[in-house]
Amino acid sequence: MTNIQIGAQMYSLRDRCQDEATMLSAMKQLKAMGYNICQLSGYNTAIPAERLRDMLQESGLQCVCTHTSFDLMQSDIDKVIRDHKTIGCAYPGIGGLPGPYHDSPEGYREFAKKANALAKIFADNGMHFIYHHHAFEFHRFAEGVTGLEVLYDEFCPEMQFELDVYWVQMGGASPYEWIEKVKGRMDIIHFKEMNGNLANQGGLMTPIGQGNINWTKIMKTCDDTGVTYALIEQDNAVETDSLECMRQSIDYLKGIGGRF
């Protein structure tokens, strides 16, 4: 059995996270499937942290990380810290690179400086700032570097990566190599499945185990590099039945030694 603990990224169930009652019901159903940890993202941010804390306690889930607005982090980091302490979460993160920084290596460097400043404040409060990427960070600029390589070089020790297996592969890189590359700089990873499609364009997101990623190898690589948590994310689960997609994913990973 793997050492990492696997949980649910609530963004996969965002269709069920827009009001308190429906979200709490979804959380309880995840718990009944065998999930014990989650990432809060994609929910109605009008739900206050105090209520989220109560919902976590009632459902039996623990929030290990979030995706939070980078703008809010910059404008009111005290609130972000306060809210994360309220829900007992030590890993505030952002779900992607803000738009103004996409276009050049210098843009990535400018973002890294701002993120590093926030990461040091989070660290002073016992927290770890995590960065989640997509495929565009693997675009290779004329200077010969990719955006993620720039961030790898520019992030301070307090900044952590939250690699997404699907997006690494979609970007044309090896998820196994990147997990090894960020050893010691990543406590949390996203498990997301990729399958081919008849249109021969991109890659299809499916429940874990219904695609072509070698999850036994992924889990071993995570174990070898000291990853603590993995969150299952399927962006398009809301297009069918998001809870059923999460059920299929947990059933598959349990069958190959996943620990929940």
Q: What is the CATH number of the domain that holds 76?
A: 3.20.20.150
pLDDT at 100: 87
Question: What's the rounded Cα separation, in Å, for the pair 239 and 5?
Answer: 27
Number of domains in the chain: 1
Whether 237 shows a pLDDT value over 90: the answer reads yes
Whether 201 shows a pLDDT value over 90: the answer reads no
For residue 122, the enclosing domain spans: 5-255
pLDDT at 99: 87
What is the pTM for the complete model shown?
A: 0.97
**In this structure, is residue 260 part of a structural domain?**
no
Question: What's the rounded Cα separation, in Å, for the pair 178 and 221?
Answer: 10
Whether 47 shows a pLDDT value over 90: the answer reads yes
**In this structure, is residue 183 part of a structural domain?**
yes
**In this structure, is residue 42 part of a structural domain?**
yes
- Buried/exposed code over 42-56 (b: 16+ C-beta within 10 A; e: otherwise): bbeeebebeebbebb
Residues in the chain: 260
Whether 130 shows a pLDDT value over 90: the answer reads yes
**In this structure, is residue 241 part of a structural domain?**
yes
- Note the pLDDT tens digit of each residue in 133-179: 999 999 999 999 999 999 999 999 999 999 999 999 999 999 999 99
DSSP secondary-structure letter at 95? S
Q: Which amino acid is at 101?
A: Y
Q: Angle at which helices 242-255 and 20-33 pack, to 10 degrees?
A: 20
**In this structure, is residue 110 part of a structural domain?**
yes
Question: What's the rounded Cα separation, in Å, for the pair 143 and 80?
Answer: 36
Q: Which ranges constitute the DSSP H helices of the chain?
A: 20-33, 49-59, 70-75, 77-87, 105-124, 147-154, 165-170, 175-181, 215-225, 242-255
Whether 202 shows a pLDDT value over 90: the answer reads no
Lowest mean pLDDT among 124-128, 170-174, 198-202: 198-202
Lowest mean pLDDT among 12-21, 58-67, 68-77, 197-206: 197-206
**In this structure, is residue 145 part of a structural domain?**
yes
Mean model confidence pLDDT for the chain: 97
Whether 43 shows a pLDDT value over 90: the answer reads yes
- Can you tell me the mean pLDDT for 22-43? 98
**In this structure, is residue 23 part of a structural domain?**
yes
